[in-house]
Structure 1
């Protein structure tokens, strides 16, 4: 993780004119082939449960906790290196920063009043956020291709086909489980918060039909680009691997841990891009003036070790909330089930900051020029 933005941000002329966001080694290691981390949380869960004989819920929560501390949490907090800790961003979006305080209030209220509803909203928003990041990375590839490589914009139809396959790949199997009334995250049955209208076979049929229609269009588009010699291989490989992994992940019986695999890959990509953007600003911009604390940690090493450390330190806020909510829950509901007790504190501590992270990223994911300085 420490090497995620290693080296000087200056690119060679050949790298600037290639399709890669940075260079082939970096893109493959941190964006595309980092997909190898997806099965690790689930394998760790199975290993703990079946080899060491740890109970299912304990094994699940241990994996959740480790992913949260090691990568999910730092990825979540790294957002604030570009928003809350950035004076320029604060001046540009003051209402965004101020309105963020509403999110923890909503999270805490739902955690105590209706945890199932909280997790249902979380799952839906998390899915949208993960797919939004995928489209953002795709647009970074499109932006570089159109402005610095071919000097012509990617066609509207090609963009729409890419978006269609990305935004539908996660939902056919999830729709099937919803239609069967078996959509559970950990010990929480999210079907209780999903209207009965969707727990019908038609929902699975419609979602599958839309996905396979998008898949057919994507295959045809890709084959045509290949024959015409216009295919963007880095982008195409990234989309293809993402679609395959996202489509099959919901098939696993333990969705809680299964989605931790996607979360790990998503977080790995996010940290790589975020730290690289900061390194570019440090090299070409005014990071010392705009984000003095971030600049101080970024200067600690040529790689991203200092930035990762700062993101992890910020994670202490979640730990404080977890301890407070865990203690309060014992008082408010002394007879609460142990799993529900942990989930209430865990999801409150994580989602309070995670949803702010989602909220801010809806703005950050529109900045397709964030890597431009490295290409000029």
Structure 2
């Protein structure tokens, strides 16, 4: 770990107030304390540890299927593995190795073309717009495809979601093409408030759903693939072939069970507060005379959204670190500078438990302090 990263870690851990949540400011000692403190309801901690997927793993699979309203679920060490196996299974069942997905989908951006290199699949893109595809766009795809893959929410353009009517129409258009629908629901847990629908209703639109346990629920790691029992049985066979049948997984599984029990019920509250935080951030940047800024979406669809500012990432990162060191306020975390246009950077804001303590006035005060440091760093 670099000296700069150690410095940021120390600053963020010492902060008395944190706006944007995340697990990147956690030490091994923090993780061990959390693990020893949790005891999910109905879980016998005196039972034997799991052994190649039994015991606690099976309990997590059962509870996940219940939460999503599916017949069955399979636990995976990574979401990448879960999704590759789901697509492989559906390609075999439909007889079509083409997947319709978005070019900004996790499948394309963060998985090293595994769908093609490992499973021999091919992707087509109904749209390149920074949103989910519409029904008309799905209908207009020229090539036959066996699976339509939808990331809900679509992270890269700002954790965006369609409306419920748009989503159901898109799913119906795929069905008319004789395609199955797989949902990349890494953050599906967060979507109920936007859709005004329950998790079983949302998951019920698809033939299979992948969910993450660490991206919304705060687990150490892990994911699940949920769907009909016959698909899940096949997926478990491929899980073993892909090297995902780990000897013991109880630490990650315990934290996932804890997340289902304690974090999942709070996500609607986080999502509601994210709207207040986003509005306060936008007003604060406007009031401070920042020449250009953007909070996107202006009204967040989930408890996560983007903030864009007209400064280099290294300047914003340094200013944020100094704010944590000098004022013990952790406002933003990491910044990314796409390069086009130059000098513009963005960060992802995650509103979780700590952010519930922030009022609009708190946000305004912190932004003013942050921008003062941004100017100092820029002038240095």
Q: Same fold (TM over 0.5)?
A: no
- Report 1 or 2 for greater relative contact order, CA contacts < 8 Å, sequence distance ≥ 6: 1
Structure number with the higher helix fraction is 1
Structure number with the higher strand fraction is 2
